[in-house]
Amino acid sequence: MTPVYLDNNATTRVFPEVVEAMLPYFSEQFGNASSIHAFGSEVGGALRIARRSLQALIGAEFDHEIIFTSGGSESNNTAIRSALAVQSGRNEIVTSAVEHPAILQLCAWLEKHEGVVVHRIPVDEQGRLDLDAYRAALSDRVALVTLMWANNETGTIFPVDGLAELAHGVGALFHTDAVQAVGKVKVDVKNTDIDMLSLSSHKFHGPKGLGALYVRKGISFRPLIRGGHQERGRRAGTENAPAIIGLGKAAEMAMATLQEDGIRMAALRDRLEKGLVQQIGHCFVTGDPHDRLPNTATVAFEFIEGEAILLKLNEAGIAASSGSACTSGSLEPSHVLRAMNIPFTAAHGAIRFSLSRETTEEDIDRVLTVMPNIIAGLRAMSPFWSGEGATPDGFNPAYA
């Protein structure tokens, strides 16, 4: 039985071409890019090529606007702390209730320990930002607005271009956590008011432990990690050359097939959602039906536990998730689904299927074959299941 991997928002398989590109930089080309001798200059040249590949993927105007980091979490922390440091006299942050823990936990810490005022903007039942509440939170006290490009659990896309423009209207900096968006949808920062953007290599078939922070030219910046001149003095530490080379190759590959991959994944996602809802009932798709990542489908199954579903799927050789990999160990419903006011009876049974360019029709068919029996079996054992209490076909009316 061939395993089916549908947890690509947690991490993706590193492409063989990416591994091949990385391998020489563990052995033959092992020099430190900061060294002036040939061993170092060869590696330095390869890093410049990788940086330009990522520049092209996100539409940055200059390659030096990209700072390599250890991943999305470091990029997010760097952006937030830098904005507070350089925006003198401003001590407020505007974010949303559905951000990744790398944003929300830092904001909570800053609020508790450093007196930073944090505005958490609510979302509606489809995960869309409350724009009236957002506008009301903006003032000349706001140092930074940090809002995700696309939600990691539901795939809902925020209108970051317009949100950044509104932030600039009050003199605030704008940062977006685009970890789930880069490599899946078109990103073109030079034609927006976005000041900073975070991304992570392993979300689009690059290696783990490597990310980047885009900082627009001219934006004041304060390093998080000091101790060396690397990354133009903005992030100290010897560059992880093999991983950076891998990120560059992954960016190049994503750029080459971005549009066609998106169309294909969206078609498979829609087929999966429609099949689950029609075959099973008493379940519904979460997120914005119109502005959503092409690869992400989170379906809430009423009156059963998501953990039990995942265990049964795993037994069938299928990998999925109950939400963010950073928080899936919790027994509580996802903070994202709670913020969307998903009914408690359904939020506990929400399963996220996240596809990649490698996902096949056969993978989707496997899920559609095994899921009805899994859900029926679990509901038969549930003391809360009566077969009543949902809409007749279980479908979210927003998707009709």
User: CA-CA distance, 8 to 204, in Å (whole number)?
Assistant: 9
Instruction: Tell whether the torsion through CA atoms of 227, 228, 233 and 238 is positive or negative.
Output: negative
The tokens for 357 are 């360019």
From the list 104, 165, 163, the residue with the least C-alpha distance to 132 is: 163
- 326 is annotated as an active-site residue: yes
Strands 350-354 and 117-121: unpaired
Burial of 288 (0-12, 13-18, 19+ CB in 10 A): buried
CB 146 within 8 A of CB 76: yes
User: CA-CA distance, 72 to 200, in Å (whole number)?
Assistant: 5
Q: Which of 319, 326, 370, 398 is catalytic?
A: 326
175 to 55, 128, 189, 321, 352: CA distances (angstroms): 17, 18, 11, 27, 26
Q: Which amino acid is at 161?
A: D
Torsion, Cα of 280, 128, 331, 305 (10° steps): -10
State the catalytic residues.
326
